[in-house]
Each structure stands twice: as structure tokens, then as C-alpha cells.
Structure 1
Amino acid sequence: MNRIYFLICTLVFSTISATAQGSDEAKALLEEVYNKVKGYDNIVVDFKYVLNNAEAGINQETRGDVTLEGEKYVGDFFGAKQIYDGSKVYTIVPENQEVTIEDKSEDENALTPAKMLTFYRDGHKYEMDILQNVNGRKIQYVKLTPMDTDSETESILLGIDAETKHIYKVIEKGKNGTTTTITVNSFKTDQPLSETLFTFDRKKYEDEGYYIIES
């Protein structure tokens, strides 16, 4: 539900200088994005998700949404709802009438919704890429390359709204030929949220006949 993983070094002297400058510029932009995101009490994102692998004949498209408050989150994606209350992750699948309850992942590399807007800060090299005009908005792309050579990700293009410093698009290219694209349709901040939004109501689902699995 929530996985998406994460430039060039060529010639000599003059190119090295230009690359270093581009990297510094990219780092400064990413820090602006990070500081902007961390300044909000909460974030509500609606997005489109596209998974494509032409060679394998795969093309999946869906929409999703996620509400973030600190490390807590609640999201809907591919017909499933997931809640993280700061301690446990609850995955609710209405089609199967099933709920899976798990402890927070100990995998520091796991890309959770809470990391969706900040994952780029660690484990990547980065450089400035193209500047694109999207319906009057200037979208500056930064190219990220994983430092881990065993990573399944070849590269990531992170599209940033040059005015708001909000993430607009993430394009992940896998080494297996799969391209995953997440496009933000709406990005709202500091919204009034219910006090129980990140709380799992176990009795409600038991009363509705859901099968609950705890790991």
C-alpha cells in the first residue's frame, strides 16, 4: 500500500565543478521542501498512482489519499484502508472483511506514508533536473539515485512546485523496467481533524463480522 523506493559523474574539472554546484542547489531545494513539510500540524494528500511495465504488460492506475500528523497516518489505497496510531499498523480490507494488526515496522528503509514527503533526505545522491511548466505551475525536478548499489530502484525524479515548495510528483524507475508514478492532485495543510481519526475501533469491525489477524 505504501511502497515506493528510492547522478551522473562524467568528464573532469569543469564538469565536476558544475555537478557539485547542481548538487548543492538540489540539496538546498530539498531542505526547503523538508522544512516546509515539518512546519505543518497535519497534511492531507489526494493522489493518483500509476504502475507501468510495458515488457510485462502491466498498467495499473488508481487513486488514493493519506492524512498525516507527525508519525501517525490514515490512508486509503487499492481498496484497503490503513491506520497507524503511533504503535500499531491496522490494515482493513472491506472486500475480504479482514483486518490485519501489526507492530510498527522495524525496517528503517520501509517507505511508510509518514515518510512519503521526506524519504529523499537519506541514502540518495541528487542533482537538479528539468524545469517543467504544468498548467502555469513551475515544477522543478530533482533526480535522486540510491547510494545502495543493491537497491531495486534505478532512479527517482522528484517534482517540486517551485512556488509552494510542495511535492507534486514522484517518478520511480525500477531496475526491472517498472515505472511508478505518484501525482499529487491536492495538498492541504493544517486541517481540522477528528480526535479519533487515528484510532482503530476494534468493536466496530468485530460487530460487522470482520476477521481480525494479529501478528
Structure 2
Amino acid sequence: MKKLLIIGMILFGTQATFAQQDVKAKAVLDKLSAKAKTFKTISATFMYELNNPTADINEKQEGSLISKGEKYNLNIAGQNVISDGKTKWTYIADAEEVQIDDATTEGEEALNPSKILTIYEDGFKYKYDKDITENGRAIQVVKLFPEQADDKPYHSALLYVDKVKNEVTKIELKGKDGSNYIYTITSFEVNKEIPDSKFVFNTAKHPEVEVIDLR
């Protein structure tokens, strides 16, 4: 679960009013926030990469997410985390088990994947970093710094934003232990029809799975 918690901390956050900081960075983030408010549903895939040269670690994994309001269905690192906004199921196929918990447990209030790509809206200072061209796209890079840095496993993050589409293309987290966590968005669609059944784990369809109720 540690990896999933880190993913939530990187990719997802809650809404808040921006403080007066870097004016150029604020303009980029305000545009992102305004656009995000028009999303009824999100369907996204991403590439997750973990690098730590000192520890000789270089891992890559694909992930996917769908969300609808407070509901979400996240696949990453061999785990499927599903929530209908009240209950959360963590299905681990290799272990043939599903863990059931409340959607929001103590200490995890900000780790809700339904808030995809809005990490910048709460608990961060920010400044404009640079303009780059990546894969033929004009990218604006904003650097984020957690206000409660002692409580975070990272010291800063880079947010890559497509200047034309006004969409996040990549998030890079700088860990305090020298690890770099990189999330590259490979596909992103919004406002598709998604049935509520996608946000509930159906134990009847998985009779072989051990159910572990942690509530």
C-alpha cells in the first residue's frame, strides 16, 4: 500500500484558493483549475517511473485511472483500488485478496484519486520554472514546494503543462531519499459516460478471493 499512498500524494489533492505567489505560475495553475472544474468524468492512462541512481533503481510501470466525482478506479503496480466515495476496495490479484476499508481513513484525507492532477491546489507554494519543447509540444514547467515539508517524503515537484491544450502532461516528484517519481500522462479523456458499476468491487465475480474487512 505504501506505493499507492505515494501515488495518491503525487497525483491527487484537494481544492483551495491560491495564495499570492509567483504571478506567472499562478496564471498557469488558475487556468488548469478552471478547466478541471468542467470535468464530470476522467479517463487517463500514465507511465510511472521510479529512479534512484544511488540505489541502482530504475522501474517503469503502466497505470490507468477513471474517476467520476468522488468515485474512482485506479490500476497500478499490480493493485486495483476502487471507491464509490464511501467504501474503498483494494484488489491484489496475485495474492487473491481484496481489502475493504472506508473511502477516507485517518491520515489519507488528501489521497483521493478522484482529484486527479490537482495536487497544486492545496498545501503548496509554487514558482514558474521554465519553458521547454517536449515531443513537439510547448510545455510550461511550474515548480511546487510543500508547505508542510516535514510531513512529506519529497521536497519539491515539477508540473509540466501543455501550453496549448492547458493540460498536465507530466509530474515529477523529487524524493528526500534521492528517488525521483515521474508520472507521464499517456492518454487523457474527459466527460465520457462511465457507469457507476465501475466504482464497486463485485465479490460475486471473484469467488476465489479472500475478503479482508478493515473497517
Report the TM range for the smaller structure's normalisation: 0.7 to 0.9
Q: Using the TM superposition, give the Cα deviation of residue 193 of structure 1 relative to its aligned residue in structure 2, in angstroms.
A: 1.5
* Residue of structure 2 equivalent to 1:34: 33
Structure 1 residue 117 corresponds to structure 2 residue 79: no
Identity of matched residues, %: 36
* Residue of structure 2 equivalent to 1:102: 101
Q: Work out whether residues 100 and 214 of structure 1, in 8 Å CA contact, stay in contact via their aligned partners in 2.
A: yes
| 110-119 or 76-85, larger mean C-alpha shift | 110-119
* Residue of structure 1 equivalent to 2:15: none
* Residue of structure 2 equivalent to 1:131: 131
Q: Work out whether residues 2 and 113 of structure 1, in 8 Å CA contact, stay in contact via their aligned partners in 2.
A: no
Aligned alpha-carbon RMSD (Å): 1.9
Letter in 2 for 1:191: K
Q: Secondary structure at the match of 1:3?
A: helix
Q: Output the TM-score relative to the length of structure 1.
A: 0.87
Larger radius of gyration: 1
Structure 1: stretches of 5+ with no match in the other structure: 7-20
Letter in 2 for 1:130: K
Structure 1 residue 197 corresponds to structure 2 residue 198: yes
* Residue of structure 1 equivalent to 2:165: 164
Q: Using the TM superposition, give the Cα deviation of residue 142 of structure 1 relative to its aligned residue in structure 2, in angstroms.
A: 0.3
Q: Using the TM superposition, give the Cα deviation of residue 72 of structure 1 relative to its aligned residue in structure 2, in angstroms.
A: 0.7
Aligned partners of 1:197, 1:108: CA distance in 2, in Å?
A: 22
* Residue of structure 1 equivalent to 2:56: 57
Residue deviations 1:44-100 (CA, integer Å, cap 9, x gap)? 110000011111121111000000111110011111111011101101111111000
Aligned partners of 1:137, 1:72: CA distance in 2, in Å?
A: 31
Give the total of aligned pairs: 200
Give structure 1 regions of 4+ aligned residues with deviation exceeding 6 angstroms. none
| 64-73 or 130-139, larger mean C-alpha shift | 130-139
Q: Secondary structure at the match of 1:167?
A: strand
Structure 2: stretches of 5+ with no match in the other structure: 11-19
Residue deviations 1:86-120 (CA, integer Å, cap 9, x gap)? 10110111111100001122325643312331121
